[in-house]
Amino acid sequence: MRHNTVSAVINLVEPWENLEPLTLDRPVGTLPFGGRYRLIDFPLSSITNAGIQNVMIVSPRSGRSVADHLRSGNDWNLDTIRGGLFNFPYNDLSLIAPQKKETLVHHYYDNTILFLKRSNSEFTVIMGTRNVCNIDLKALLRYHRERDNPVTTVYKSIDANEACPNTSVLQLTDNGMATAVLPAASKNVSPNENGKYAKSLNIYLLSTIDLIDILKEANERGDLVSLEDLMLQAVIQHSANAFEYTGFYANIHDIESYYNANMSVLKEDNFRSLLYTQRRIYTKVKNEIPTFFAKSSHVKGSLCGTGGYIEGQIDHSVIFRNVFINRNSEIKDSVIMQGTRIGAGTKIENTIIDKNVVIGPNLQLKGTPEKPLVIGKGQRIFQQEEVAND
């Protein structure tokens, strides 16, 4: 019988409320990031770079944007005759109707258990998407095998002042074991002597048999607990090995952190360590034409996707595919997503503009680094008043 070492579960059921309006019709996992990616590309690329071929995608809602992005999984080398991508939509318990919920009691994890059994894997890695990183899962597996605890989890060492009260951090013992994952505000965790927190990256590796047992027990109890909460419980119950990740990292939990994460990829060291390592980041392939920079354009310190037509000035911004920027416009410290058009003479600063937006000529859109202005998907804005009311 075929033997797979590791299977993977990408859990897209993640807190999205603080990222509205960007998350009104997509999970956190399909938020555009870094000029051409979606957040899910990072865990998915880590998974395929480690040779993992069985991947389950747990979507909160219909998973339309997820399926549209992933399709057959071919762009991540997951469209082979072995294994592949398995999509499971409608898993956000807070969105499930009460009658439907009743039928799920004792059955909520049936699909996951079936996937895990059929994957025929020895280990399973569970990852979210809101922590952007480029992790070597093979190294994580080696680390896990060398240690005794049934679960291994991953952290990034961050300065205490980078943590918000809600930032989830590992409670570490003196010999480096994790005994709980808690909010930084909890009195049971404190920064270490160097003033650092062990920020949880929400990645868990454990044996598939153990995971199936955990899920079966949850089914038997019938208490409808999310997969992420089950993992938190497992860490408390068994203690976990804590693997330190040292590469580029960004946590995305609200508009400001999403904005800052995009701005931080504009630093050359950061985008090189995230995007130019041996572990490539894959994403949906599009056949866009080259981006044209007109004579009047001036672009500096920016990342740009293909298919664009640029006449204006762009400074320190992330510009996605297929963006049209008309003459005499000025874009500064902003994120402009796929298919958006900016009118002539419009000035934009500290702003996030979602996909397929049209901004008319001679307008001013201005946020602040702490509170970026956000223009939701598909909006048409032609009057200054429409900006103010937004």
Partner 1 sequence: MNENDEMLAIILAGGQGSRLGKLTKSTAKPAIPFGGRYRIIDFTLSNCANSGINTVGVITQYQPLELNAHIGNGSSWGLDDQTGGVTVLQPFSSTEGEKFFEGTAHAIYQNIEYIDQQNPKYLLVLSGDHIYKMDYRAMLEYHKAKKASLTVGVIPVTPEEAKRFGMMNTDETDRIIEFEEKPEHPKSNKASMGIYIFNWETLRNYLTTSFSTNKELEDFGKNVIPMYLANNESAYAYSFEGYWRDVGTIQSLWQANMEFLSPYNSLNIGDHNWRINSKAQVLPPMYLTATSNINNSMVVDSCYVAGEVDHSILSQRVSVGAGSRVVDSMIMPGATIGKNVVVDHALIGEEAVIGDDAVVKGTEDDIAVVGYGEVLGVKKS
- We find the least distance from the C-beta atom of residue 200 to partner 1, in angstroms, to be 27
CB atoms closer than 10 angstroms to residue 175: 6
- We find the least distance from the C-beta atom of residue 126 to partner 1, in angstroms, to be 25
Binding pattern for the stretch 107-146 against partner 1, x by CB under 8 A and - elsewhere = ----------------------------------------
Which tokens hold the place of 26?
């997509």
Chain positions 75 to 94 lying near partner 1, rule: CB under 8 A, are: 75
Burial class (CB in 10 A: 0-12, 13-18, 19+), 146: exposed
Q: Which stretch binds partner 1 (CB under 8 A): 21-29, 32-40, 119-127, 210-218?
A: 32-40
- We find the least distance from the C-beta atom of residue 261 to partner 1, in angstroms, to be 15
CB 318, CB 337: distance < 8 Å: no
d(CA 6, CA 104) in angstroms, rounded, equals 28
Question: If we measure between CA atoms, which residue out of 107, 108, 61 comes closest to residue 87?
Answer: 61
Q: Which stretch binds partner 1 (CB under 8 A): 231-239, 251-259, 286-294, 328-336?
A: 286-294
Asked whether position 301 contacts partner 1 by CB under 8 A, the answer is: yes
- We find the least distance from the C-beta atom of residue 167 to partner 1, in angstroms, to be 28
Residue 125 to residues 159, 183, 206, Cα–Cα distance (Å)? 27, 23, 7
Asked whether position 305 contacts partner 1 by CB under 8 A, the answer is: yes
Nearer to partner 1, 234 or 265 (CB): 265
Q: Which stretch binds partner 1 (CB under 8 A): 3-11, 131-139, 219-227, 295-303?
A: 295-303
d(CA 55, CA 126) in angstroms, rounded, equals 10
Binding pattern for the stretch 244-283 against partner 1, x by CB under 8 A and - elsewhere = ------------------------x--x---xx---xxxx
Report which DSSP code applies to 289.
P
Question: Taking each helix axis from N to C terminus, what angle separates 137-145 and 41-49, rounded to the nearest 10 degrees?
Answer: 60
CB 154, CB 144: distance < 8 Å: no
d(CA 158, CA 154) in angstroms, rounded, equals 13
Nearer to partner 1, 166 or 296 (CB): 296
Q: Which of 293, 328, 379, 382 binds partner 1 (CB under 8 A)?
A: 293
Which tokens hold the place of 381?
């804005």
Size of site (CB under 8 A) for partner 1: 34
- We find the least distance from the C-beta atom of residue 61 to partner 1, in angstroms, to be 27
Asked whether position 292 contacts partner 1 by CB under 8 A, the answer is: yes
Query: What letters, b where the CB count within 10 A reaches 16 and e where it falls short, cover 304-318?
Result: bbebbbbbbbbeebb
CB 21, CB 390: distance < 8 Å: no
Asked whether position 189 contacts partner 1 by CB under 8 A, the answer is: no
Asked whether position 304 contacts partner 1 by CB under 8 A, the answer is: yes
Phi and psi at residue 262, to the nearest 5°: -65, -40
Contacts of 28 (CB under 8 A, 6+ apart): 12, 14, 15, 16, 19, 39, 129, 130, 252
Using DSSP, state whether 34 is helix, strand or coil. coil
Report which DSSP code applies to 280.
P
Nearer to partner 1, 138 or 316 (CB): 316
- We find the least distance from the C-beta atom of residue 307 to partner 1, in angstroms, to be 8
Contacts of 224 (CB under 8 A, 6+ apart): 93, 101, 104, 105, 108
Nearer to partner 1, 228 or 354 (CB): 354
- We find the least distance from the C-beta atom of residue 295 to partner 1, in angstroms, to be 5
Nearer to partner 1, 297 or 328 (CB): 297
Nearer to partner 1, 111 or 328 (CB): 328
Residues found near partner 1 in the complex (CB under 8 A): 34-36, 74-75, 268, 271, 275-276, 280-283, 285-287, 289-295, 297-306, 309
